[in-house]
Structure 1
Amino acid sequence: MKFMFRKFDTLGMPILGAAAMVLFVLERKHQLRRRTRPKKDRLVENGSVAAAAVPALRLLLVPGMYAAAQWANKNSFGLMAWLRLPKWAKYGAGFLLLDYSNYLWHVLLHKSDLLWRFHNVHHIDMDLDLSSAWRFHIGENVASVPYRGGMVALLGVPAPLVLFYEVIFEGCTAFHHSNLRLPYAFEKHLCQLMVTPRMHGIHHSIVARETNSNFSVIFSAWDRLHQTLRLNVPQDKITIGVPSYRNPHEQSPAHLFRMPFEKQRPWQLPDGTVPSREELPRQKELLP
């Protein structure tokens, strides 16, 4: 299995690093949602989780997906080969289908009780910003290897496309997790095409029907296709997190690592109430 990817490591990763630095500065100057916890505490917490998860992504997931694509390409296996598409179509359709497969994976993370145990580590963050983009339990990244590798093989996408898509995937994940306030008129149009900070902020709400919406990663079309799009929630009304995990002391790195192996709590606040919100009209219209 190949582990070193020259263009991915010497071009893709530096580009992602530069983009992250720009987002880090911009979200401090143009804040979308008011913070509820100290930034330094969250950087330590999220950085600790990422310190284990990111190497798993780079050393297991990326090589695994690339190997799956190479195998499929060599054996003329997968949808792209069976349809006998020209090269340009393999790259275009392959990019879209890779993104669709990740929409489905995200839905599965919420629907599977086992996978949710790991994904919940990401969701109990009580603020949402750039650091949240890498706050994924190592178990979730390891679990994604067979799924994402399997989808790469079934689609039969070109191996170089896997690396290109992963760079765009990570960049978009950083962008829509950021706490960056874009001009409302601009973002209202942008979210017609791709996932934006306001759109993804709704996905991190403590209101269950809002959390179970906006699963897309790059293109918002998948939520439109499956009727899981929800944009009609004002940003200043959103409480970020999971209702049963509102104690800041439970955000410690030690607890975050062991949390998937503990009994999961019901979706309710500590006082037993279930967060709700009156449904506003025009579900697919982004609100400020």
Structure 2
Amino acid sequence: MKVRFPYFDTIGMSLLGTTALLLFVLESKRQLRKRTRLKPQRLKENAGVAALALPALRLLLLPCRYASAQKAAKYRMGLLYWSGMPKWFHYVAGFLLLDYTNYMWHVLLHKSDLLWRFHNVHHMDLDLDHSTAWRFHVGENIASAPCRNAAVALIGIPAPLVLFYEVIFEGCTAFHHSNLRLPVKAEQWLCRIMVTPRMHGIHHSIVARETNSNFTVIFSWWDRLHKSLLLHVAQADITIGVPAYRDPNEQSAFNLFAIPFKKQRTWQQPDGTVPQRQERQPLVKLYP
């Protein structure tokens, strides 16, 4: 199984590193949501989680998906190879279908009690910025392997597209997790096509209906298609996190690693109340 990908590790990782640095600077200057905790402490905690998750992503998941794509090409397996369409169609349709399968995987993470144990670690962050994009439990990454490998093989994704999509996927994940305040008009236009910081901020709300919305990674079309899109929630009204896990002392990397293996708490705040939001038409229409 191939593990070294020179173009991905040089050009791709350089682009992702530049994106992360740019977001780090910009979100400090143009803050979208007020922070509840000091950033250095959160960076330390999130980096501790990422220390296991990122190597698993690069050394296990990416090589496995690439190998699945190579086998699909060798044996002419998958929907795109059976379609008989030209090569350019394989790449365009493959990119779209990869993003759609990641939408479905994200929905499954929220619907499955077992998978949520691991995904909960990502949502437990009490603030949301680009460092939250690193904060995925290593168990979630490993659990995603069978599903995402199967998607690559069944669709018949070309192997180079696996690497290209991964760069765009990770870049977009960092962007929409960022605490970057974009001009409202810019987000009104962007969220017609892709996920934006305001849109994904709603997904990290402690209100269950809001958490169970806006699942997509790159294209916002999938949420529109499945009616899971939710836009009209003001960022100032959002509390980030999971209601049952509000204690900053539980945010250490060691505890976050152990959380999936402990009894899960119900979706309520420490005082027993369930966060809700009254349905209302916003005074200012932030989104189309």
Please confirm whether the aligned pair reaches a TM-score higher than 0.5, indicating the same fold.
yes
Show CA shifts across 1:46-80 (max 9, x none).
00000110000000110010000000010000010
Aligned to 1:255, the other structure's residue is in SS state: helix
Distance 1:72 1:220 in 2: 28
How far is the alpha carbon of 1:111 from its aligned partner? 0.4
Aligned to 1:16, the other structure's residue is in SS state: helix
Distance 1:281 1:223 in 2: 20
Show CA shifts across 1:201-242 (max 9, x none).
000000000000000000000000000000010000000000
Tell me the TM-score normalised to structure 2 length.
0.98
Show CA shifts across 1:109-141 (max 9, x none).
000000000000000100000100000000000
Distance 2:105 2:279 in 1: 27
Does structure 1 residue 44 correspond to structure 2 residue 44? yes
Match of 1:90 in 2: 90
Unaligned ranges ≥5, structure 2: none
Task: Give matches, 1:139-288, under 5 Å.
Answer: 139-281=139-281, 286=286
Match of 2:79 in 1: 79
Task: Give matches, 1:101-140, under 5 Å.
Answer: 101-140=101-140
Show CA shifts across 1:1-26 (max 9, x none).
00001111111011100111001000
8 Å contact kept, 1:233–1:287: no
Amino acid at match of 2:154: L
8 Å contact kept, 1:103–1:216: yes
Distance 1:246 1:119 in 2: 16
8 Å contact kept, 1:122–1:135: yes
Aligned to 2:31, the other structure's residue is in SS state: coil
Show CA shifts across 1:236-272 (max 9, x none).
0000000000000000111100000000000000000
Distance 2:256 2:50 in 1: 11
Unaligned ranges ≥5, structure 1: none
Show CA shifts across 1:175-204 (max 9, x none).
000000000111111000000000000000
How far is the alpha carbon of 1:85 from its aligned partner? 1.4
* Aligned-pair identity (%): 69
Distance 2:75 2:113 in 1: 36
Distance 2:264 2:124 in 1: 12
How far is the alpha carbon of 1:287 from its aligned partner? 5.0
